[in-house]
Amino acid sequence: MQWETVIGLEIHAQLTTRSKIFSGASTAFGAAPNTQACQVDLALPGVLPVLNRGAVERAIKFGLAIGARLNRTNVFARKNYFYPDLPKGYQISQFELPIVEGGSIDIQVGGAVKTIRLTRAHLEEDAGKSLHEDFHGMSGIDLNRAGTPLLEIVSEPDMRSAKEAVAYAKALHTLVTWIGICDGNMQEGSFRMDANVSVRPKGQAEFGTRREIKNLNSFRFLEQAIDYEVRWQIERIEDGHEIQQATVLFDPDTGETRMMRTKEDAHDYRYFPDPDLLPVKLDETLIADTQAHMPELPQARQARYKTEFGLSTYDAASLTSSRAMADYFEAVATALPKPDPKLAANWVMGDLTAALNKVEMDLDDSPITAPLLAKLLARIQDGTLSGKLAKQVFEVMWGEGGEPDAIIEARGLKQMSDSGELEAIIDEVLAANAKLVEEYRAGKEKAFNALVGRVMQATRGKANPAQVNELLRARLAG
Amino acid sequence: MPTPTLRFLSTLLAQGKASSVELCQDYLDRIRRLNPALNAFITVDPDRTLVEAVAADALRASGRGDVLTGVPIAHKDLFCTEGWLTTCGSRMLAGFVSPYDAHVIRQCKTMGMPSLGKTNMDEFAMGSSNETSHFGPVKNPWDHARVPGGSSGGSAACVAADMAPAATGSDTGGSIRQPAALCGITGLKPTYGMVSRYGMIAFASSLDQGGPMARTAEDCGLLLNVMAGFDERDSTSLQREKEDYTRDLDKPLAGLKIGLPREFFGEGLTGDIAKAVEEAITQYRRLGAETVEVGLPNSRLSVAAYYVLAPAEASSNLSRFDGVRYGYRTPDYTDLLDMYEKTRAEGFGEEVKRRILIGTYVLSHGYYDAYYIQAQKLRRLIASDFRAAFRDCDVILGPTTPGTAFRLGERIQDPVQMYLTDIYTIAVNLAGLPGMSLPCGFDGQGLPIGMQLIGDYFGEARILNVAHQYQRVTDWHQRRPEGL
């Protein structure tokens, strides 16, 4: 039987506010346990929450970016359950009236564009952390994270493969970091994914029973977990079992998912509107302002890179995978003396990205800034540097810093532009390689390439390869 | 000696006839003498009180004092007080020392009002007799075999017995007004949002409101001036101009329209209370007021709505008492669940557990719409009744309670009878209106009777005026229990 996979994702994006969603404590990551938990976060008797406006502004920004409906009145509710890292015994979240409803985002898989619909996005507070090691049979509780603002982004079950799920998660990751509402740091848990996965016979209209894979913190794990889960579900069904609705965890060590709890022991969260917080009323001016200050979004930029710069879909997509990269690329492309977006794209996606990846560095920290790279590329455009020489200059700029012109000058890396000098070298090379010349004349094109190589060697790479080609052909023909 | 009102004590201090230290010493002596029998205080700490009194005297001497600087006060034990025990009348918090001050406490401290101690109360403010306190019941100063009312029973009893000139209270369904009535004092529940709830341990967040309890309406106004005001830490706190609640005290009542809800004067009202309230109405007519009959048809449903909404909120508010971070934790447990269950089973009393169970039930999947949503609808109907009534009158008058102080143990086994004690007060909380109780007579057994004045939203100054004018021509509020 042919099976179809159905996936919906719930993604928790931690918002970039400096203080928590309902208290003034800091949200900075990595502080000593319980040093960033104030009396509100500790849920002391008598304390009350006050909504952080910054969290609301970020949710509005997200809603506008995905073309969603913003609920002008939205309501915080209490989700009640007991756990030691949930100090109040309830999580303040949104239930019946979330701030954002609807909207969509486009993804590309295998060259095809697909629109994924979003169900909703709501604001909520994070819980603290339970630490089960190092406490001699007891558990430690760290409430630094308690009260950190989250936007929970829920998709419709619109994805049909792990690849699509990953593409969606990446697109969302790009978007939330692009508009600056989330730092996207997955190691620190700023972007966490839950995947609802089910399978059904191809052609069947109803969904199968789903299982939810909780708390995936990398795109690779997301893909592995879904792939495993799909195989597992199909095998179960083909073996004559029924899938039970359940929550499962993915173990990266074994690559398997395992049961956490079934629907039977699911909580009744007893949601009700939080009487400590008034319904949130969205201000039209704030919405209009946010819209007016919205940066050009990734999809719009991709389209523009294709039409305005003539880049391929692949290049346009790669360059817009983060706002930092797109901004960098555009700064380089627009600074070139002669318009050549493809040259800028190749260097940004090629040498620069490779250098950054090698040392796991963020583009923002790159020692070679966009204006510096543009200066380097300008020297290619004016013939001062060959591509090969430019790479050498790039290496020096990366390793030691400095302006390209100064490096070219100091190291004598200037491309040979005097054709007389080059012709003399060519003559020497031809004289020293009579055999190759013979072979070329006998019709071996390979011999020509070898001769070009010898000339380049003799010039220590400083010759312009195009010029070498031209002069060499003329000389051999003569 | 004249009635030791806040106004009187303030004058003594201003004239230099007494210091705050002397006043506090007198009250502490009286507390030492009377509290063992009355049990109105859970915590008394004379050293702390006197340190605060010394500071208050210095503040007054520096010329930076205000009307109530140096005047001592007692605080209901649900206001968090830095350095003092804050128990909320519960075993759960029997050893809890708050690391911060509630907004109301901070306001009183800034004014320089020394704290005489923390007053006894029904556990987590759930009760109408003070019998649910973990620290034992408070006795009514008028008859030690009777209850003082609740939940602010300790606050009411300590004022009635002159162990404090005034006290803070909180009112979720009548917890200021009912004990004020049963102890023969004056108490005011402000409009919801007037007094910050920050640091006031929550029972039912949408209904809880702190307020003053004192001998006179004037004193309630003076104390409300200290307690009220916008606080950014409470999202339900109202952003309004600071006002002087005593500004209208002396306004004559000629032309005042008093609304008499027909539903408050029907069956269930005992003869003595009906008579006392009738006489008060006659008094008001003499003062130039007119009366009009108004209808509050949905108020009969207020107890039912209240006992869905208040427990629902309470069940969630009390979840934080889990033994993990502070408060009581059971000594023996096998795992986390066992720790939760035993801690809460042992830490909470019967009434609190009953309400947590009710609240959990009405919020449960499948029951939420039938109970919680329905009760919210009733709440809106009750509020709109009041809105309609206030189109025809300026204030509403009626009894505060259907009966006078009942005997200790008389109703504690019968929750429904106990809940009906608040039948006249609960609707006011559901509507979020200001209401107050003031003494208007005594029954045949010499027990005080209270009448209730309900104002429109932000009508505190108005009802204080109406109460003050009555107290100018009557002396019920000056009567003191014998033998103290």
Give the position of tokens 């977006």.
A341
User: What CATH number has the domain spanning B6-256?
Assistant: 3.90.1300.10
**Least confident span in A69-83, A140-154, A444-458, B156-170:** A444-458
Measured CA to CA in angstroms, residue A99 lies from A28, A122, A146 at distances of 25, 6, 21
- State the Cα torsion A191-A192-A198-A203 to the nearest 10°: 0
Give the position of tokens 């994070």.
A126
- For residue B312, the chain A residue with the least C-alpha distance is A272
Residue in B319, B329, B343, B368 to test binding to A, most A beta-carbons within 10 Å: B319
Report the distance separating Cα A464 and Cα A274, nearest Å. 72
Per-residue pLDDT, averaged over A83-111, amounts to 95
Report the distance separating Cα A211 and Cα A197, nearest Å. 5
The total number of residues shown for chain A amounts to 478
Is A50 in contact with B204 (Cβ distance < 8 A)?
no
Residue A477 pLDDT grade (very low, low, confident, very high; cuts 50, 70, 90): confident
How confident is the model over B89-109, as pLDDT tens digits? Answer: 999 999 999 999 999 999 999
CB-based contact, A39 to chain B, within 8 Å: yes
Residue B212 scores a pLDDT above 70: yes
- Show which of residues 366-385 on chain B sit within 8 Å of chain A, judged by CB atoms: 368, 372
Residue B2 scores a pLDDT above 70: no
Residue A209 scores a pLDDT above 80: yes
**Least confident span in A290-294, A372-376, A447-451, B478-482:** A447-451
Q: Look at residue A341 in the predicted model and tell me its pLDDT.
A: 95
Report the distance separating Cα B38 and Cα B159, nearest Å. 12
Amino acid identity for residue B263 in this structure: E
Given B90, B175, B196, B299, the catalytic residue: B175
- pTM for this entry: 0.91
Which residues lie across from B30 on neighbouring strands?
Answer: none
Report the distance separating Cα B406 and Cα B273, nearest Å. 14
How confident is the model over B424-467, as pLDDT tens digits? Answer: 999 999 999 999 999 999 999 999 999 999 999 999 999 999 99
Where exactly are the structural domains of chain B? Answer: 6-256
Where exactly are the structural domains of chain A? Answer: 3-286, 296-411, 419-477
Cβ contacts below 8 Å, chain A against chain B, sum to 98
Is B364 in contact with A43 (Cβ distance < 8 A)?
no
Q: Look at residue A434 in the predicted model and tell me its pLDDT.
A: 87
Which among A39, A45, A270 is the nearest to B86, CB-wise? A45
Percent of chain A exceeding pLDDT 70 equals 99
Q: How far is A69 from chain B (nearest CA, A)?
A: 26
Percent of chain B exceeding pLDDT 90 equals 94
Per-residue pLDDT, averaged over B214-240, amounts to 97
Is B201 in contact with A46 (Cβ distance < 8 A)?
yes
- For residue B320, the chain A residue with the least C-alpha distance is A88
CB-based contact, A24 to chain B, within 8 Å: no
Q: What is the mean pLDDT of chain A?
A: 93
Q: Look at residue B226 in the predicted model and tell me its pLDDT.
A: 98
Q: Look at residue A387 in the predicted model and tell me its pLDDT.
A: 85
Per-residue pLDDT, averaged over A260-269, amounts to 82
Per-residue pLDDT, averaged over B119-143, amounts to 98
Q: How far is B412 from chain A (nearest CA, A)?
A: 27
Given B19, B76, B129, B152, the catalytic residue: B76
Q: Look at residue A133 in the predicted model and tell me its pLDDT.
A: 81
Considering only CB atoms, which chain A residues are within 8 Å of B368? 270-272
- The DSSP secondary-structure symbol of B370 reads I
Per-residue pLDDT, averaged over A257-285, amounts to 91
- Show which of residues 304-333 on chain B sit within 8 Å of chain A, judged by CB atoms: 312-313, 315-316, 318-322, 324-326
User: Is B76 tagged catalytic?
Assistant: yes
The H-or-E segment that residue B477 falls in is none
CB-based contact, B199 to chain A, within 8 Å: yes
Residue B1 scores a pLDDT above 60: no
Per-residue pLDDT, averaged over B128-137, amounts to 97
Residue B484 pLDDT grade (very low, low, confident, very high; cuts 50, 70, 90): confident
CB-based contact, A270 to chain B, within 8 Å: yes
CB-based contact, A278 to chain B, within 8 Å: yes
Per-residue pLDDT, averaged over B399-417, amounts to 92
- For residue A79, the chain B residue with the least C-alpha distance is B316
Report the distance separating Cα A308 and Cα A310, nearest Å. 6
Measured CA to CA in angstroms, residue A456 lies from A388, A416, A470, A476 at distances of 10, 10, 13, 17
- The DSSP secondary-structure symbol of B5 reads -
Per-residue pLDDT, averaged over B411-428, amounts to 89
CB-based contact, A469 to chain B, within 8 Å: no
Report the distance separating Cα B251 and Cα A358, nearest Å. 83
Q: How far is A157 from chain B (nearest CA, A)?
A: 25
Percent of chain A exceeding pLDDT 90 equals 76
- Would you call B463 helix, strand, or coil by DSSP? helix
B364: its two tokens: 């449960």
User: Is B175 tagged catalytic?
Assistant: yes
Report the distance separating Cα A53 and Cα A365, nearest Å. 31
Report the distance separating Cα A43 and Cα A51, nearest Å. 15
How confident is the model over A169-206, as pLDDT tens digits? Answer: 999 999 999 999 999 999 999 999 999 999 999 999 99
Q: What is the mean pLDDT of chain B?
A: 96
Residue in A270, A271, A277 to test binding to B, most B beta-carbons within 10 Å: A270
Report the distance separating Cα B103 and Cα B81, nearest Å. 10
Residue B482 pLDDT grade (very low, low, confident, very high; cuts 50, 70, 90): confident
Closest C-alpha among B259, B198, B226 to residue B113: B226
Task: Identify the CATH class of A419-477.
Answer: mainly alpha
Q: Look at residue A262 in the predicted model and tell me its pLDDT.
A: 83
Residue B113 pLDDT grade (very low, low, confident, very high; cuts 50, 70, 90): very high
Residue A455 scores a pLDDT above 90: no
Q: How far is B205 from chain A (nearest CA, A)?
A: 6
Report the distance separating Cα B410 and Cα B413, nearest Å. 8
How confident is the model over B253-310, as pLDDT tens digits? Answer: 999 999 999 999 876 677 899 999 999 999 999 999 999 999 999 999 999 999 999 9
Residue A278 scores a pLDDT above 80: yes
In this structure, are residues A4 and A200 in contact, taking their beta carbons and an 8 Å threshold?
Answer: yes
Residue B350 scores a pLDDT above 90: yes
User: Is B364 tagged catalytic?
Assistant: no
